[in-house]
Protein backbone atom coordinates (compact mmCIF):
# COMPACT_ATOMS: atom_id res chain seq x y z
CA UNK A 1 0.00 0.00 0.00
CA UNK A 2 1.26 3.47 -0.85
CA UNK A 3 2.22 5.42 2.22
CA UNK A 4 1.49 9.14 2.19
CA UNK A 5 2.68 11.26 5.05
CA UNK A 6 1.74 14.87 5.63
CA UNK A 7 2.23 16.29 9.11
CA UNK A 8 -0.25 19.15 9.13
CA UNK A 9 1.46 21.52 11.50
CA UNK A 10 -1.01 24.14 12.74
CA UNK A 11 1.50 26.98 12.65
CA UNK A 12 2.82 29.35 10.05
CA UNK A 13 5.69 27.74 8.13
CA UNK A 14 8.21 30.55 8.37
CA UNK A 15 10.80 29.32 5.86
CA UNK A 16 8.81 30.22 2.79
CA UNK A 17 9.15 33.51 1.01
CA UNK A 18 5.69 34.64 2.18
CA UNK A 19 3.78 33.78 5.32
CA UNK A 20 1.71 30.66 4.74
CA UNK A 21 0.43 27.66 6.64
CA UNK A 22 1.96 24.23 6.24
CA UNK A 23 -1.24 23.15 4.48
CA UNK A 24 -0.58 25.90 1.91
CA UNK A 25 2.97 24.64 1.49
CA UNK A 26 1.75 21.09 0.88
CA UNK A 27 -0.57 22.39 -1.84
CA UNK A 28 2.37 24.13 -3.55
CA UNK A 29 4.48 20.95 -3.38
CA UNK A 30 1.63 18.88 -4.82
CA UNK A 31 1.25 21.37 -7.67
CA UNK A 32 4.98 21.20 -8.43
CA UNK A 33 4.61 17.42 -8.80
CA UNK A 34 1.72 17.64 -11.24
CA UNK A 35 4.16 16.60 -13.98
CA UNK A 36 4.17 13.03 -12.62
CA UNK A 37 0.99 11.24 -13.65
CA UNK A 38 -0.38 7.98 -12.19
CA UNK A 39 0.54 6.15 -15.42
CA UNK A 40 4.03 7.64 -15.98
CA UNK A 41 7.39 7.22 -14.23
CA UNK A 42 7.57 9.38 -11.15
CA UNK A 43 9.46 10.37 -8.04
CA UNK A 44 9.71 10.20 -4.27
CA UNK A 45 9.97 13.29 -2.10
CA UNK A 46 10.70 13.28 1.63
CA UNK A 47 11.28 16.35 3.79
CA UNK A 48 12.34 16.55 7.42
CA UNK A 49 12.68 19.40 9.87
CA UNK A 50 14.96 19.01 12.89
CA UNK A 51 15.06 15.26 12.28
CA UNK A 52 11.27 14.85 12.05
CA UNK A 53 9.74 13.78 8.71
CA UNK A 54 7.10 16.36 7.82
CA UNK A 55 6.34 15.27 4.25
CA UNK A 56 6.78 12.00 2.37
CA UNK A 57 5.05 10.91 -0.78
CA UNK A 58 5.62 8.89 -3.95
CA UNK A 59 4.25 10.03 -7.30
CA UNK A 60 3.81 8.02 -10.50
CA UNK A 61 4.63 4.45 -11.41
CA UNK A 62 7.59 2.19 -10.60
CA UNK A 63 7.15 -0.55 -13.21
CA UNK A 64 5.24 0.26 -16.38
CA UNK A 65 5.26 -3.32 -17.69
CA UNK A 66 3.46 -4.63 -14.61
CA UNK A 67 1.60 -1.42 -13.71
CA UNK A 68 3.21 -1.24 -10.26
CA UNK A 69 2.78 2.15 -8.58
CA UNK A 70 5.74 3.94 -7.03
CA UNK A 71 5.62 3.92 -3.23
CA UNK A 72 7.74 5.36 -0.44
CA UNK A 73 9.42 1.94 -0.19
CA UNK A 74 10.31 1.61 -3.88
CA UNK A 75 14.09 1.43 -4.31
CA UNK A 76 15.46 4.04 -6.73
CA UNK A 77 19.08 4.42 -7.73
CA UNK A 78 20.68 7.55 -6.31
CA UNK A 79 23.34 8.30 -8.94
CA UNK A 80 26.17 10.43 -7.60
CA UNK A 81 24.37 11.08 -4.32
CA UNK A 82 25.96 7.65 -3.64
CA UNK A 83 29.44 9.17 -3.49
CA UNK A 84 29.04 10.43 0.09
CA UNK A 85 28.63 6.82 1.27
CA UNK A 86 31.77 5.70 -0.54
CA UNK A 87 33.64 8.65 0.97
CA UNK A 88 32.26 7.76 4.41
CA UNK A 89 33.62 4.23 4.06
CA UNK A 90 37.09 5.61 3.26
CA UNK A 91 36.94 7.94 6.28
CA UNK A 92 35.95 5.04 8.53
CA UNK A 93 38.93 3.04 7.27
CA UNK A 94 41.19 6.00 7.94
CA UNK A 95 39.84 6.21 11.48
CA UNK A 96 40.60 2.50 11.88
CA UNK A 97 44.21 3.23 10.91
CA UNK A 98 44.06 1.21 7.69
CA UNK A 99 44.78 4.10 5.33
CA UNK A 100 45.26 7.86 5.20
CA UNK A 101 43.77 10.50 2.94
CA UNK A 102 47.33 11.72 2.42
CA UNK A 103 48.43 8.36 1.01
CA UNK A 104 49.49 8.05 -2.62
CA UNK A 105 46.76 6.11 -4.43
CA UNK A 106 49.46 3.90 -5.97
CA UNK A 107 50.03 2.44 -2.51
CA UNK A 108 46.71 0.64 -2.96
CA UNK A 109 46.34 0.69 -6.75
CA UNK A 110 49.84 -0.02 -8.10
CA UNK A 111 48.34 -0.69 -11.54
CA UNK A 112 48.09 3.08 -12.10
CA UNK A 113 50.89 4.76 -14.06
CA UNK A 114 53.19 7.16 -12.25
CA UNK A 115 52.40 10.59 -13.60
CA UNK A 116 55.32 12.40 -11.98
CA UNK A 117 53.11 13.82 -9.24
CA UNK A 118 51.51 12.26 -6.16
CA UNK A 119 47.76 11.67 -6.36
CA UNK A 120 46.42 11.40 -2.82
CA UNK A 121 43.17 9.83 -1.70
CA UNK A 122 42.04 13.31 -0.71
CA UNK A 123 42.64 14.55 -4.26
CA UNK A 124 40.41 11.73 -5.50
CA UNK A 125 37.73 12.37 -2.89
CA UNK A 126 37.52 16.07 -3.79
CA UNK A 127 37.81 15.69 -7.59
CA UNK A 128 41.19 17.38 -7.91
CA UNK A 129 43.21 14.24 -8.75
CA UNK A 130 43.39 14.85 -12.49
CA UNK A 131 42.33 11.25 -13.18
CA UNK A 132 40.31 11.16 -16.38
CA UNK A 133 36.74 9.96 -16.08
CA UNK A 134 36.73 6.37 -17.32
CA UNK A 135 33.16 6.66 -18.60
CA UNK A 136 34.15 9.61 -20.79
CA UNK A 137 36.98 7.55 -22.28
CA UNK A 138 34.59 4.65 -22.89
CA UNK A 139 32.27 7.09 -24.66
CA UNK A 140 35.08 8.26 -26.93
CA UNK A 141 35.65 4.61 -27.85
CA UNK A 142 31.98 4.26 -28.80
CA UNK A 143 30.88 2.29 -25.75
CA UNK A 144 29.50 4.79 -23.25
CA UNK A 145 28.26 3.62 -19.88
CA UNK A 146 25.07 1.50 -19.94
CA UNK A 147 26.10 0.01 -23.32
CA UNK A 148 28.36 -2.60 -21.67
CA UNK A 149 28.26 -4.40 -18.34
CA UNK A 150 31.26 -2.53 -16.95
CA UNK A 151 32.75 -3.54 -13.61
CA UNK A 152 35.08 -1.65 -11.29
CA UNK A 153 37.92 -3.76 -12.69
CA UNK A 154 36.95 -2.58 -16.18
CA UNK A 155 37.05 0.99 -14.89
CA UNK A 156 40.51 0.35 -13.41
CA UNK A 157 41.70 -1.07 -16.73
CA UNK A 158 40.57 2.04 -18.62
CA UNK A 159 41.99 4.42 -16.01
CA UNK A 160 45.35 2.63 -16.00
CA UNK A 161 45.63 3.01 -19.80
CA UNK A 162 45.68 6.82 -19.56
CA UNK A 163 49.11 8.31 -20.24
CA UNK A 164 48.30 11.78 -18.93
CA UNK A 165 46.16 13.50 -16.31
CA UNK A 166 43.52 16.15 -16.83
CA UNK A 167 45.43 18.46 -14.51
CA UNK A 168 48.23 18.58 -11.98
CA UNK A 169 46.82 17.04 -8.76
CA UNK A 170 45.26 19.75 -6.62
CA UNK A 171 45.38 22.38 -9.36
CA UNK A 172 41.81 22.13 -10.65
CA UNK A 173 38.42 20.77 -9.68
CA UNK A 174 37.29 18.49 -12.51
CA UNK A 175 34.49 16.12 -11.58
CA UNK A 176 35.52 12.52 -12.25
CA UNK A 177 33.86 9.23 -11.33
CA UNK A 178 37.17 7.40 -11.59
CA UNK A 179 38.36 8.18 -8.07
CA UNK A 180 35.20 6.75 -6.53
CA UNK A 181 35.37 3.50 -8.51
CA UNK A 182 38.95 3.17 -7.31
CA UNK A 183 37.73 3.80 -3.76
CA UNK A 184 35.43 0.77 -4.05
CA UNK A 185 38.47 -1.31 -5.01
CA UNK A 186 40.54 0.19 -2.19
CA UNK A 187 37.86 -0.61 0.41
CA UNK A 188 37.92 -4.26 -0.65
CA UNK A 189 41.73 -4.49 -0.75
CA UNK A 190 42.16 -2.81 2.63
CA UNK A 191 39.22 -4.22 4.61
CA UNK A 192 38.79 -7.60 2.98
CA UNK A 193 35.11 -6.81 2.43
CA UNK A 194 33.37 -5.47 -0.64
CA UNK A 195 32.20 -1.88 -0.46
CA UNK A 196 28.63 -3.23 -0.41
CA UNK A 197 29.29 -5.45 2.62
CA UNK A 198 31.42 -2.86 4.42
CA UNK A 199 28.70 -0.21 4.09
CA UNK A 200 25.95 -2.60 5.14
CA UNK A 201 27.75 -3.40 8.40
CA UNK A 202 29.23 0.01 9.19
CA UNK A 203 26.74 2.50 7.73
CA UNK A 204 23.36 1.23 6.55
CA UNK A 205 22.47 -0.94 9.56
CA UNK A 206 23.69 1.53 12.23
CA UNK A 207 21.78 4.35 10.50
CA UNK A 208 18.58 2.25 10.29
CA UNK A 209 18.56 2.36 6.48
CA UNK A 210 16.55 -0.84 5.95
CA UNK A 211 15.74 -0.10 2.31
CA UNK A 212 19.27 0.67 1.13
CA UNK A 213 21.88 -1.46 -0.63
CA UNK A 214 24.52 -1.11 -3.35
CA UNK A 215 23.81 -2.23 -6.89
CA UNK A 216 27.03 -4.29 -6.96
CA UNK A 217 25.32 -6.97 -9.07
CA UNK A 218 22.79 -5.51 -11.48
CA UNK A 219 21.40 -9.00 -12.18
CA UNK A 220 20.35 -9.51 -8.57
CA UNK A 221 16.61 -9.55 -8.01
CA UNK A 222 15.81 -6.53 -5.85
CA UNK A 223 12.39 -6.46 -4.24
CA UNK A 224 10.51 -3.20 -4.91
CA UNK A 225 13.12 -1.82 -7.33
CA UNK A 226 11.74 0.95 -9.55
CA UNK A 227 12.66 0.67 -13.23
CA UNK A 228 14.24 3.74 -14.87
CA UNK A 229 12.68 5.19 -18.03
CA UNK A 230 13.48 7.72 -20.72
CA UNK A 231 10.87 9.46 -22.86
CA UNK A 232 11.28 8.82 -26.59
CA UNK A 233 8.70 10.72 -28.60
CA UNK A 234 5.34 9.64 -27.27
CA UNK A 235 6.55 6.47 -25.63
CA UNK A 236 8.79 5.38 -22.78
CA UNK A 237 11.82 3.12 -22.99
CA UNK A 238 13.65 1.42 -20.13
CA UNK A 239 17.05 2.98 -19.46
CA UNK A 240 18.81 1.04 -16.71
CA UNK A 241 22.42 1.07 -15.44
CA UNK A 242 23.15 -2.53 -16.43
CA UNK A 243 26.67 -2.56 -15.05
CA UNK A 244 28.59 -3.89 -12.08
CA UNK A 245 30.60 -0.69 -11.59
CA UNK A 246 29.60 1.09 -8.39
CA UNK A 247 30.94 3.38 -5.72
CA UNK A 248 30.71 6.36 -8.04
CA UNK A 249 26.96 5.68 -8.13
CA UNK A 250 24.84 2.59 -7.71
CA UNK A 251 23.15 3.13 -4.35
CA UNK A 252 19.62 1.69 -4.29
CA UNK A 253 17.65 3.54 -1.66
CA UNK A 254 14.54 5.53 -0.79
CA UNK A 255 14.00 9.20 -0.06
CA UNK A 256 13.11 8.39 3.55
CA UNK A 257 16.30 6.35 4.00
CA UNK A 258 18.31 9.32 2.72
CA UNK A 259 16.73 11.43 5.45
CA UNK A 260 17.79 8.78 7.99
CA UNK A 261 21.35 9.08 6.66
CA UNK A 262 21.28 12.85 7.05
CA UNK A 263 20.02 12.52 10.61
CA UNK A 264 22.71 9.93 11.38
CA UNK A 265 25.88 11.55 10.14
CA UNK A 266 24.84 15.16 10.83
CA UNK A 267 24.18 14.19 14.44
CA UNK A 268 27.83 13.11 14.63
CA UNK A 269 27.04 9.39 14.82
CA UNK A 270 29.30 8.25 11.98
CA UNK A 271 32.61 7.12 13.44
CA UNK A 272 33.89 7.23 17.02
CA UNK A 273 34.78 9.99 17.55
CA UNK A 274 32.48 11.65 15.03
CA UNK A 275 33.78 12.04 11.48
CA UNK A 276 31.42 14.91 10.68
CA UNK A 277 34.17 17.52 10.62
CA UNK A 278 36.16 15.46 8.11
CA UNK A 279 33.07 14.81 6.01
CA UNK A 280 32.52 18.54 5.59
CA UNK A 281 36.17 19.62 5.34
CA UNK A 282 37.19 21.21 2.04
CA UNK A 283 40.69 21.85 0.72
CA UNK A 284 41.72 24.89 -1.36
CA UNK A 285 43.25 24.35 -4.77
CA UNK A 286 46.99 24.73 -5.20
CA UNK A 287 46.56 28.44 -6.03
CA UNK A 288 44.51 29.04 -2.88
CA UNK A 289 41.15 29.25 -4.67
CA UNK A 290 38.25 27.60 -2.88
CA UNK A 291 37.09 24.10 -3.77
CA UNK A 292 33.63 23.54 -2.30
CA UNK A 293 33.67 19.75 -2.68
CA UNK A 294 34.26 17.78 0.53
CA UNK A 295 33.76 14.04 1.19
CA UNK A 296 31.19 13.26 -1.51
CA UNK A 297 29.35 16.39 -0.41
CA UNK A 298 29.25 19.90 -1.81
CA UNK A 299 29.36 22.52 0.94
CA UNK A 300 28.02 25.75 -0.49
CA UNK A 301 25.61 28.62 -0.01
CA UNK A 302 22.19 28.43 -1.65
CA UNK A 303 19.61 31.21 -1.53
CA UNK A 304 21.75 32.84 1.15
CA UNK A 305 21.80 29.78 3.43
CA UNK A 306 24.61 27.29 4.03
CA UNK A 307 23.76 24.10 2.17
CA UNK A 308 25.26 20.60 2.13
CA UNK A 309 24.07 18.84 -0.98
CA UNK A 310 24.66 16.55 -3.94
CA UNK A 311 22.77 15.60 -7.07
CA UNK A 312 22.93 12.45 -9.15
CA UNK A 313 22.10 10.89 -12.50
CA UNK A 314 22.75 7.34 -13.71
CA UNK A 315 21.03 6.08 -16.85
CA UNK A 316 17.53 7.58 -16.33
CA UNK A 317 17.58 7.67 -12.54
CA UNK A 318 17.79 11.16 -11.01
CA UNK A 319 18.40 12.27 -7.42
CA UNK A 320 19.07 15.14 -5.05
CA UNK A 321 19.80 15.34 -1.33
CA UNK A 322 19.98 18.77 0.32
CA UNK A 323 20.47 19.87 3.91
CA UNK A 324 20.25 23.40 5.29
CA UNK A 325 21.93 23.27 8.73
CA UNK A 326 20.74 26.69 9.90
CA UNK A 327 17.16 25.65 9.16
CA UNK A 328 17.40 22.01 10.24
CA UNK A 329 15.86 21.21 6.86
CA UNK A 330 16.53 18.10 4.74
CA UNK A 331 15.03 17.54 1.28
CA UNK A 332 15.45 14.15 -0.45
CA UNK A 333 14.21 13.56 -3.99
CA UNK A 334 14.57 10.44 -6.14
CA UNK A 335 13.12 9.84 -9.60
CA UNK A 336 12.99 6.96 -12.05
CA UNK A 337 12.54 9.28 -15.01
CA UNK A 338 14.80 11.49 -17.13
CA UNK A 339 11.80 12.91 -18.98
CA UNK A 340 12.04 16.35 -17.44
CA UNK A 341 15.77 16.95 -17.69
CA UNK A 342 15.23 19.91 -19.99
CA UNK A 343 12.39 21.39 -17.98
CA UNK A 344 12.23 23.20 -14.63
CA UNK A 345 14.47 21.48 -12.09
CA UNK A 346 12.30 19.68 -9.54
CA UNK A 347 14.71 19.85 -6.55
CA UNK A 348 15.11 23.58 -7.17
CA UNK A 349 11.34 24.02 -7.37
CA UNK A 350 10.85 22.35 -3.98
CA UNK A 351 13.70 24.34 -2.48
CA UNK A 352 12.12 27.58 -3.64
CA UNK A 353 8.89 26.58 -1.91
CA UNK A 354 10.62 25.59 1.32
CA UNK A 355 13.47 28.07 1.68
CA UNK A 356 13.20 31.82 1.77
CA UNK A 357 15.74 33.59 -0.40
CA UNK A 358 17.88 35.82 1.82
CA UNK A 359 20.73 36.23 -0.64
CA UNK A 360 21.89 39.82 -0.92
CA UNK A 361 22.99 40.91 -4.37
CA UNK A 362 26.34 42.64 -3.97
CA UNK A 363 26.71 46.08 -5.44
CA UNK A 364 28.73 45.86 -8.61
CA UNK A 365 31.32 48.58 -8.96
CA UNK A 366 31.52 49.69 -12.58
CA UNK A 367 35.09 50.65 -13.50
CA UNK A 368 35.57 53.96 -15.26
CA UNK A 369 35.58 53.58 -19.07
CA UNK A 370 38.92 53.72 -20.84
CA UNK A 371 39.55 54.76 -24.43
CA UNK A 372 41.63 52.37 -26.52
CA UNK A 373 42.64 53.29 -30.07
CA UNK A 374 41.04 51.42 -32.93
CA UNK A 375 44.48 50.32 -34.12
CA UNK A 376 45.22 48.75 -30.73
CA UNK A 377 41.84 47.05 -30.58
CA UNK A 378 42.40 45.63 -34.06
CA UNK A 379 45.70 44.10 -32.90
CA UNK A 380 43.75 42.02 -30.38
CA UNK A 381 41.39 40.45 -32.92
CA UNK A 382 41.66 36.89 -34.21
CA UNK A 383 41.46 33.32 -32.93
CA UNK A 384 42.72 32.09 -29.57
CA UNK A 385 43.06 28.54 -28.19
CA UNK A 386 42.44 27.38 -24.62
CA UNK A 387 45.58 25.50 -23.59
CA UNK A 388 43.68 23.14 -21.27
CA UNK A 389 40.58 22.23 -23.25
CA UNK A 390 41.54 23.08 -26.88
CA UNK A 391 38.35 25.15 -27.18
CA UNK A 392 38.57 28.27 -29.31
CA UNK A 393 37.37 31.83 -29.05
CA UNK A 394 37.52 34.61 -31.61
CA UNK A 395 37.74 38.33 -30.92
CA UNK A 396 36.30 40.68 -33.55
CA UNK A 397 36.05 44.44 -33.89
CA UNK A 398 32.58 45.79 -34.54
CA UNK A 399 31.52 49.43 -34.30
CA UNK A 400 34.80 50.33 -32.56
CA UNK A 401 34.08 47.77 -29.84
CA UNK A 402 36.01 44.57 -29.19
CA UNK A 403 33.63 41.63 -29.04
CA UNK A 404 33.57 37.86 -28.86
CA UNK A 405 32.34 36.01 -31.92
CA UNK A 406 29.02 35.60 -30.06
CA UNK A 407 28.73 39.39 -29.97
CA UNK A 408 29.47 39.97 -26.26
CA UNK A 409 31.17 43.32 -25.74
CA UNK A 410 34.50 43.65 -23.95
CA UNK A 411 34.51 46.99 -22.13
CA UNK A 412 38.02 48.47 -21.70
CA UNK A 413 39.17 49.58 -18.25
CA UNK A 414 42.83 49.85 -19.31
CA UNK A 415 44.64 49.58 -22.62
CA UNK A 416 44.90 45.80 -22.37
CA UNK A 417 42.30 44.97 -19.71
CA UNK A 418 38.60 44.55 -20.39
CA UNK A 419 35.50 43.44 -18.53
CA UNK A 420 33.09 40.88 -19.93
CA UNK A 421 30.35 40.91 -17.31
CA UNK A 422 32.10 39.87 -14.08
CA UNK A 423 35.05 38.31 -15.94
CA UNK A 424 38.26 40.29 -16.27
CA UNK A 425 39.91 39.84 -19.67
CA UNK A 426 43.60 40.64 -19.81
CA UNK A 427 45.39 40.58 -23.17
CA UNK A 428 49.14 40.13 -22.95
CA UNK A 429 51.41 41.14 -25.84
CA UNK A 430 53.60 38.06 -25.63
CA UNK A 431 54.67 35.77 -28.47
CA UNK A 432 52.22 34.30 -29.15
CA UNK A 433 49.72 36.80 -27.76
CA UNK A 434 47.75 35.56 -24.76
CA UNK A 435 44.34 36.20 -23.25
CA UNK A 436 43.74 35.66 -19.54
CA UNK A 437 40.12 35.21 -18.43
CA UNK A 438 40.22 35.95 -14.72
CA UNK A 439 37.34 35.06 -12.42
CA UNK A 440 37.13 34.61 -8.65
CA UNK A 441 37.53 30.84 -9.10
CA UNK A 442 40.14 30.44 -11.80
CA UNK A 443 42.25 31.94 -14.56
CA UNK A 444 41.84 30.52 -18.05
CA UNK A 445 44.66 31.08 -20.52
CA UNK A 446 44.16 31.34 -24.28
CA UNK A 447 46.98 31.76 -26.78
CA UNK A 448 46.73 33.30 -30.25
CA UNK A 449 46.13 30.84 -33.07
CA UNK A 450 46.17 31.17 -36.84
CA UNK A 451 42.86 31.11 -38.65
CA UNK A 452 41.69 27.77 -40.01
CA UNK A 453 42.24 27.00 -43.69
CA UNK A 454 38.98 25.45 -44.86
CA UNK A 455 39.63 24.90 -48.54
CA UNK A 456 39.56 21.29 -49.66
CA UNK A 457 43.28 21.18 -50.42
CA UNK A 458 44.16 22.25 -46.86
CA UNK A 459 41.70 19.79 -45.34
CA UNK A 460 43.30 16.92 -47.27
CA UNK A 461 46.29 17.13 -44.92
CA UNK A 462 44.22 15.82 -41.99
CA UNK A 463 42.96 12.68 -43.72
CA UNK A 464 44.04 9.28 -42.50
CA UNK A 465 43.78 6.68 -39.74
CA UNK A 466 44.22 7.57 -36.06
CA UNK A 467 44.59 5.02 -33.24
CA UNK A 468 44.39 5.53 -29.47
CA UNK A 469 46.06 3.19 -26.99
CA UNK A 470 44.23 5.06 -24.23
CA UNK A 471 40.73 4.51 -25.63
CA UNK A 472 41.61 1.40 -27.65
CA UNK A 473 39.72 2.92 -30.56
CA UNK A 474 40.35 3.94 -34.15
CA UNK A 475 39.06 6.95 -36.07
CA UNK A 476 39.23 7.47 -39.81
CA UNK A 477 39.29 11.10 -40.91
CA UNK A 478 37.95 11.65 -44.43
CA UNK A 479 36.34 14.27 -46.63
CA UNK A 480 32.68 14.13 -47.49
CA UNK A 481 30.88 16.93 -49.35
CA UNK A 482 33.90 19.19 -48.68
CA UNK A 483 33.54 18.61 -44.92
CA UNK A 484 35.95 16.85 -42.63
CA UNK A 485 34.43 13.72 -41.09
CA UNK A 486 35.76 11.61 -38.20
CA UNK A 487 34.41 8.09 -38.56
CA UNK A 488 34.62 5.40 -35.88
CA UNK A 489 32.54 2.83 -37.73
CA UNK A 490 30.31 2.55 -40.77
CA UNK A 491 27.37 3.83 -38.73
CA UNK A 492 29.16 6.31 -36.47
CA UNK A 493 30.67 9.52 -37.78
CA UNK A 494 30.77 13.17 -36.84
CA UNK A 495 31.62 16.42 -38.62
CA UNK A 496 34.78 18.21 -37.49
CA UNK A 497 34.02 21.92 -37.67
CA UNK A 498 37.16 24.07 -38.09
CA UNK A 499 37.79 26.66 -35.38
CA UNK A 500 41.40 27.79 -35.72
CA UNK A 501 44.37 26.21 -37.50
CA UNK A 502 44.56 22.57 -36.34
CA UNK A 503 41.61 23.06 -34.00
CA UNK A 504 38.14 21.62 -34.54
CA UNK A 505 34.91 21.13 -32.67
CA UNK A 506 32.43 18.26 -32.70
CA UNK A 507 29.37 17.73 -30.48
CA UNK A 508 30.66 17.68 -26.89
CA UNK A 509 34.26 17.42 -28.08
CA UNK A 510 37.20 19.64 -28.96
CA UNK A 511 39.89 18.29 -31.27
CA UNK A 512 43.47 19.53 -31.57
CA UNK A 513 45.92 18.30 -34.21
CA UNK A 514 49.49 17.98 -33.00
CA UNK A 515 52.46 18.40 -35.33
CA UNK A 516 56.16 17.63 -35.03
CA UNK A 517 58.93 20.18 -35.56
CA UNK A 518 58.78 19.60 -39.30
CA UNK A 519 55.11 20.54 -39.33
CA UNK A 520 53.95 16.99 -39.99
CA UNK A 521 50.77 15.76 -38.28
CA UNK A 522 51.58 13.14 -35.65
CA UNK A 523 48.39 12.88 -33.58
CA UNK A 524 44.83 13.97 -32.97
CA UNK A 525 43.93 14.81 -29.38
CA UNK A 526 40.37 14.72 -28.11
CA UNK A 527 39.04 16.79 -25.24
CA UNK A 528 35.66 16.09 -23.63
CA UNK A 529 34.30 17.55 -20.41
CA UNK A 530 35.82 15.03 -17.99
CA UNK A 531 38.71 13.73 -20.07
CA UNK A 532 41.34 15.90 -21.70
CA UNK A 533 44.19 15.19 -24.08
CA UNK A 534 43.12 11.69 -25.16
CA UNK A 535 45.70 10.88 -27.81
CA UNK A 536 45.02 9.26 -31.19
CA UNK A 537 48.28 8.73 -33.05
CA UNK A 538 48.26 9.20 -36.80
CA UNK A 539 49.08 5.91 -38.46
CA UNK A 540 51.47 5.71 -41.38
CA UNK A 541 49.87 5.29 -44.76
HEC profile for 15-54? CCCCCCEHHHHHHHHHHHHHHCCCCCECEEEEEEECCEEE
Please report the DSSP string for 190-207 in residue order: HHSS-HHHHHIIIIIHHH
Q: Which pLDDT does position 1 carry in this prediction?
A: 40
CB 539 within 8 A of CB 465: yes
CB 393 within 8 A of CB 408: no
Rounded to whole angstroms, how far apart are CA atoms 446 and 139?
27
List the one residue out of 5, 166, 134, 133 whose CA is nearest residue 73. 5
Residues present in the chain in total: 541
CB 466 within 8 A of CB 474: yes
List the one residue out of 75, 82, 46, 341 whose CA is nearest residue 220. 75
Maximum CA extent, the chain? 79
463 burial level (CB within 10 Å; 0-12, 13-18, 19+): middle
Common-topology check for domains 374-449 and 456-538: yes
Q: Exposure pattern of 419-441 as b/e (b: 16+ CB <10 Å)?
A: eeeeebbebeeeeebbbebeeee
Rounded to whole angstroms, how far apart are CA atoms 33 and 418?
45
CB 106 within 8 A of CB 114: yes
Rounded to whole angstroms, how far apart are CA atoms 480 and 482?
5
CB 143 within 8 A of CB 133: no
Cis status, amide bond into 273, omega within 30 of 0: yes
Rounded to whole angstroms, how far apart are CA atoms 193 and 57?
35
Which H/E stretch holds residue 457?
helix 456-459
CA distances from 165 to 124, 174, 494 (A): 12, 11, 26
- At residue 431, what are phi and psi to the nearest 5 degrees? -125, 110
Q: Which residues contact 466 (CB under 8 A, 6 or more apart)?
A: 474, 475, 476, 477, 523, 524, 536, 537, 538, 539
List the one residue out of 435, 402, 447 whose CA is nearest residue 424. 435
Q: Is 484 helix (H, G, I), strand (E, B) or coil?
A: strand
Extended strands (E) in 270-349? 298-302, 305-314, 317-324, 329-335
Q: Is 91 helix (H, G, I), strand (E, B) or coil?
A: helix
Q: Which pLDDT does position 20 carry in this prediction?
A: 67
Question: Top-level CATH class of 456-538?
Answer: mainly beta
Rounded to whole angstroms, how far apart are CA atoms 427 and 448?
10
87: left (phi over 0), alpha (psi -120 to 50) or beta: alpha
Rounded to whole angstroms, how far apart are CA atoms 297 and 300?
9
Extended strands (E) in 339-482? 382-386, 392-398, 401-404, 411-414, 417-420, 423-428, 434-438, 443-449, 464-468, 473-480
List the one residue out of 533, 432, 507, 92 whose CA is nearest residue 296. 92
Q: Which pLDDT does position 32 carry in this prediction?
A: 93
Q: What fold, for 77-251+270-298?
A: Beta-lactamase (3.40.710)
Taking only the tens of pLDDT, the chain with its 541 residues reads: 445 555 544 333 444 444 568 899 999 999 999 999 999 999 999 999 999 999 999 999 999 999 999 999 999 999 999 999 999 999 999 999 999 999 999 999 999 999 999 999 999 999 999 999 999 999 999 999 989 999 999 999 999 999 999 999 999 999 999 999 999 999 999 999 999 999 999 999 999 999 999 999 999 999 999 999 999 999 999 999 999 999 999 999 999 999 999 999 999 999 999 999 999 999 999 999 999 999 999 999 998 999 999 999 999 999 999 999 999 999 999 999 999 999 888 999 999 999 987 756 666 677 788 999 999 999 999 999 999 999 999 999 999 999 999 999 999 999 999 999 889 999 999 999 999 998 877 889 999 999 999 999 999 999 999 999 999 999 999 999 999 999 998 788 999 999 999 999 999 999 999 999 999 999 999 999 999 999 999 998 6
Q: Where are the domains of the chain?
A: 77-251+270-298, 374-449, 456-538
Extended strands (E) in 223-290? 229-232, 235-238, 251-253
CA distances from 283 to 158, 175, 182, 278, 538 (A): 28, 15, 20, 11, 40
Rounded to whole angstroms, how far apart are CA atoms 489 and 142?
9
List the one residue out of 31, 20, 57 whose CA is nearest residue 344. 31
Q: Is 526 helix (H, G, I), strand (E, B) or coil?
A: strand
Q: What fold, for 374-449?
A: Lipocalin (2.40.128)
Amino acid sequence: MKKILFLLIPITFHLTATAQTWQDTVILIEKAFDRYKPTTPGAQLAISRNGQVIFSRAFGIADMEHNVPLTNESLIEAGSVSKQFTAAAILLLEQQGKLSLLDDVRKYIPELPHYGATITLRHMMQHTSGLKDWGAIAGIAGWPRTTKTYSNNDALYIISKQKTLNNIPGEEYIYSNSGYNLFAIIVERVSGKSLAEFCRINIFEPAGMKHTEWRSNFKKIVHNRAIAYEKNGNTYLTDMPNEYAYGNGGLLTTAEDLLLWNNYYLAGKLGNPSLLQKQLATTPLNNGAANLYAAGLRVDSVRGWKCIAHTGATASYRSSLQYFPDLGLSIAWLSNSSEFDNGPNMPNAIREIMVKNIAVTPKRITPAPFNVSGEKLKSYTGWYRDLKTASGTKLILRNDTLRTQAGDALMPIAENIFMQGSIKVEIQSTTPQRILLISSADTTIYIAADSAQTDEKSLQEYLGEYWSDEAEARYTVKLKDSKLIAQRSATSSTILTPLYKDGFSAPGTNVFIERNKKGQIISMKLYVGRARNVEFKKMED
